[in-house]
Amino acid sequence: MRTSLVPVLAFLLSGCVAMTTSGTKEAVLFTDKEEAPVENAKTVLKPYSDLPVSMEFKCPSKIATLSPSYVVPLPPVLPAGFAHKKISYLRITMPEGMDTALAQSRIVTRKGTAVPLAAARQSSRSVGDGGTVVSTFTLDEACEALNGGKLEVAGFSYNNKSYPPSQARLQFDSQVTAGIGWWPPALFNGGHSINGAPGAE
């Protein structure tokens, strides 16, 4: 019995490939003060307590390196060339009918470049239950370029009520990530992932 298991195990191991990757997970956070600690920042901005409006940035994943090896995973040392494009996304959840009211809002980078929301490309728009609208805008700025900038929400009127302008500072955060995957995945229960310690670029 033991003798018959050895060839089977050898066959399975010879077909197992370990894939290791490394990269960064990026985020743009909202803060009240410039260069505030990351733990005090918010991932979602809700400018008004009595109005269901929320805003959050989405950053494309960045894979820096990729390394395949048989059986034993190696450190990620080979360039993969999967660097993400210099874009970012702003997702806004709001009541239906508020698109025009928020169109005058804008993002101002640290260099003073203003990106009006009305000029941004709307990549998706969906209407959910209760008339809630979720719109995603594509910005021609990388998430890192938004660090130190501001999101300025212009004043507007909605349901016969005036809402004052507001703003929030933007803070870039980057975490180093690493992952290990196996093929065939069923052999090792789908693979494993490892998140590294936070690190700024």
134 within a domain of the structure (yes/no): yes
10 within a domain of the structure (yes/no): no
60 within a domain of the structure (yes/no): yes
- Domain containing residue 84: 27-171
Q: Kindly write down the DSSP assignment for every residue of the chain, as one continuous string.
A: -HHHHHHHHHHHHHT-EEEEEEEEEEEEEEESSTT--GGG-BSSB---TTS--EEEEE---EEEEEEEEESSPPPS-SEEEEPPPS-EEEEEEEETT-HHHHTT-EEE-TT--EEEGGGSEEEEEEE-GGGEEEEEEEESS-GGGGTT-EEEEPPEEETTEEE--EEEEEEEEEEEEEEEEEESGGGGTT-EEEEEEE---
4 within a domain of the structure (yes/no): no
Q: What is the pLDDT of residues 78-111, one digit of tens each?
A: 444 445 568 999 999 999 888 888 888 999 999 8
Q: What is the pLDDT of residues 147-200, one digit of tens each?
A: 999 999 998 888 889 999 999 999 998 887 666 555 555 444 444 444 444 444
Per-residue pLDDT band at 20 (split at 50, 70, 90): low
pTM of the model: 0.68
13 within a domain of the structure (yes/no): no
Report the number of distinct structural domains present in the chain.
1
49 within a domain of the structure (yes/no): yes
Q: What mean pLDDT comes out for the span 20-47?
A: 77
